[in-house]
C-alpha cells in the first residue's frame, strides 16, 4: 500500500509490454461510484481518477482505441455524424461500442456560436439521438466542437438530456463542476505540442489563472508528455482528475503516436492508484449522493415551514 501523499513508483512493466486492464462496465452505466463528497467533508485527500477523451470520429480513432485497450485506459469518443474530415464508417464505429463510451459532438461538427439557436438545438438534440440509435446505449456526455458554446447552449444541452459537457479548458486537475444543471469537465493535457501562448490564451479566456500557474510549475517544455507525467504525479499526490484528450487525425499530422503510446503506458502503470473512468462515469462519481440532496431539501423545507 502506498502511503498518503506518496507518489507510487513508475510502472514495473516496460512500455512495450501490457498492463492489466482497468475494470470496465458497459459504456454509460453508472456502476462505478467514488467517495469524493465524503472525502472532502471529512478532510481526507480526494481520490484521483484518470480519464481520456477523443474528438471528431476520425477512422484513426480505432488506433487510439487499440492503445487504450492495451494499457487498460478507459476512453470516451465524441463522434459526429460528419465533419469536414473523414469520419468512421458504420462498421468502424461499431468496433468502439463494446469497450468505450460514445459521446455526442453535434451531427455536423458545427460551431454552436456561429449558428442560429434553432440550428444549435437541432445539432445538440439530434446528435444525442443519433448516438443512441447507433449504440443502443444512453448518451450521457456532449462535447461542443472547438470547445465553443455560450450560456444559452448549456440550457439546451441540459434540456436535451445530457449529464455532462466536456470543455477544452487545459491544465486543470479539477473534478467536474456543477453548472446550469450539468457536470462541466475541464481537461488537463491535450495530446499536441502546444507552446506557452496557447496555454496562456486558454487560461485567460476562461479566467482560470491557477491553471496557468500549473504550466509554470509543471510545464515549461514543448514536450507534452513531460508535462503530462508531472501533472499526473501531482494529481496522485494531492487528489483530482487527470484528463488527457486529443484528436487522432492530429496525432497523425503532428507525428505524436509514439508520445501518446509513452503517456498511455505511464497512465496504465498508475490505474491501481488512480482508476481509469469514462467521462460519463467521472461525472457520476463527482455528483453529490442523492441522500445528501434529499437531506438538504428536507432541511430547506423545515426552515421554510412556520415555526421552522
Each residue's pLDDT, cut to its tens digit, for the chain (308 residues) gives 444 455 555 544 456 544 444 444 444 444 444 444 444 445 567 899 999 999 999 999 999 999 999 999 999 999 999 998 999 988 899 899 999 999 999 999 999 999 999 999 999 999 999 999 999 999 999 999 999 999 999 999 999 999 999 999 988 999 999 999 999 999 999 999 978 778 778 677 777 777 777 777 776 666 899 999 999 999 999 999 999 999 999 999 999 999 999 999 999 999 999 999 999 999 999 987 654 444 444 444 444 444 43
3-state secondary structure of 71: helix
Is residue 304, in this structure, part of any structural domain at all? Answer: no
Q: Which residue has the cell 496557447?
A: 198
Check the CA dihedral 198-204-205-210 and report its sign.
Answer: positive
Contact predicate 180/151, CB 8 Å: yes
Structural domain includes residue 298: no
Element (H, E) at 296: helix 290-304
Q: Hey, how many other C-beta atoms are within 10 angstroms of the C-beta on 38? A: 11
For residue 22, tell me if it sits in a domain.
no
pLDDT of residue 140: 98
| Domain at 186, CATH number | 3.20.20.370
Overall domain count for the chain: 1
- Residue 53: name the closest of 108, 123, 103 by CA: 103
Helices 209-218, 196-205: crossing angle, 10 deg rounding: 160
14 within a domain of the structure (yes/no): no
Is residue 48 situated within a structural domain? yes
pLDDT at 213: 75
Q: Which residue has the cell 445528501?
A: 292
Task: Say if CB 11 and CB 266 are below 8 A apart.
Answer: yes
Q: Kindly state whether residue 88 falls inside one of the protein's structural domains.
A: yes
All cell numbers assigned to 254: 503532428
Burial category of 192 from C-beta neighbours within 10 Å (exposed 0-12, middle 13-18, buried 19 and up) = middle
Q: Would 266 be classed as within a structural domain?
A: yes
**Cα–Cα distance between 165 and 146 in angstroms, integer?**
13
- Domain assignment present for residue 3? The answer is no
Query: What's the angle, vertex CA 265, arms to CA 263 and CA 267, rounded to 5?
Result: 70
- In SS3 terms, 223-282 reads as CHHHHHHHHHHHHHHHCEEEEEEECHHHHHHCCCHHHHHHHHHHHHCCCCCCCECCHHHH
What is the reported pTM?
0.82
- The whole-number pLDDT of residue 293 equals 42
Coil/strand/helix, residue 204: helix
Q: Which domain holds residue 45?
A: 39-286
Amino acid at each position: 500500500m502506498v502511503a498518503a501523499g506518496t507518489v507510487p513508483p513508475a510502472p514495473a512493466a516496460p512500455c512495450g509490454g501490457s498492463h492489466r486492464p482497468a475494470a470496465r462496465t458497459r459504456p454509460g452505466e453508472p456502476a462505478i461510484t467514488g467517495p469524493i463528497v465524503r472525502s472532502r467533508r471529512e478532510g481526507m485527500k480526494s481520490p484521483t481518477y484518470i480519464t481520456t477523451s477523443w474528438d471528431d470520429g476520425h477512422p484513426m480513432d480505432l488506433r487510439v482505441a487499440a492503445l487504450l485497450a492495451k494499457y487498460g485506459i478507459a476512453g470516451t469518443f465524441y463522434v459526429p455524424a460528419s465533419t469536414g474530415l473523414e469520419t468512421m464508417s458504420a462498421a468502424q464505429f461499431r468496433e468502439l461500442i463494446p469497450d468505450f463510451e460514445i459521446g455526442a459532438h453535434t451531427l455536423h461538427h458545427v460551431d454552436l456560436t456561429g449558428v442560429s439557436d434553432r440550428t444549435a438545438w437541432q445539432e445538440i438534440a439530434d446528435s444525442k439521438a443519433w448516438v443512441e440509435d447507433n449504440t443502443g446505449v444512453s448518451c450521457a456526455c456532449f462535447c461542443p466542437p472547438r470547445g465553443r458554446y455560450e450560456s444559452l447552449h448549456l440550457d439546451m444541452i441540459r434540456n436535451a438530456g445530457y449529464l455532462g459537457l466536456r470543455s477544452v479548458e487545459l491544465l486543470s486537475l479539477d473534478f467536474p463542476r456543477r453548472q446550469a444543471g450539468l457536470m462541466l469537465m475541464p481537461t488537463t493535457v491535450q495530446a499536441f505540442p502546444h507552446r506557452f501562448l496557447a496555454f496562456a490564451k486558454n487560461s485567460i479566456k476562461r479566467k482560470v489563472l491557477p491553471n496557468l500557474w500549473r504550466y509554470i510549475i509543471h510545464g515549461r517544455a514543448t514536450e507534452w508528455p513531460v508535462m503530462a507525467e508531472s501533472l499526473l504525479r501531482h494529481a496522485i499526490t494531492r487528489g483530482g482528475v487527470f484528463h488527457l484528450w486529443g484528436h487522432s487525425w492530429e496525432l497523425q499530422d503532428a507525428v505524436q503516436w509514439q508520445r501518446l503510446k509513452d503517456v498511455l503506458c505511464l497512465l496504465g502503470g498508475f490505474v491501481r492508484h488512480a482508476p481509469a473512468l469514462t467521462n460519463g462515469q467521472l461525472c457520476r462519481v463527482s455528483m453529490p449522493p442523492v441522500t445528501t440532496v434529499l437531506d438538504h431539501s428536507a432541511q430547506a423545507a423545515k426552515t421554510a415551514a412556520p415555526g421552522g
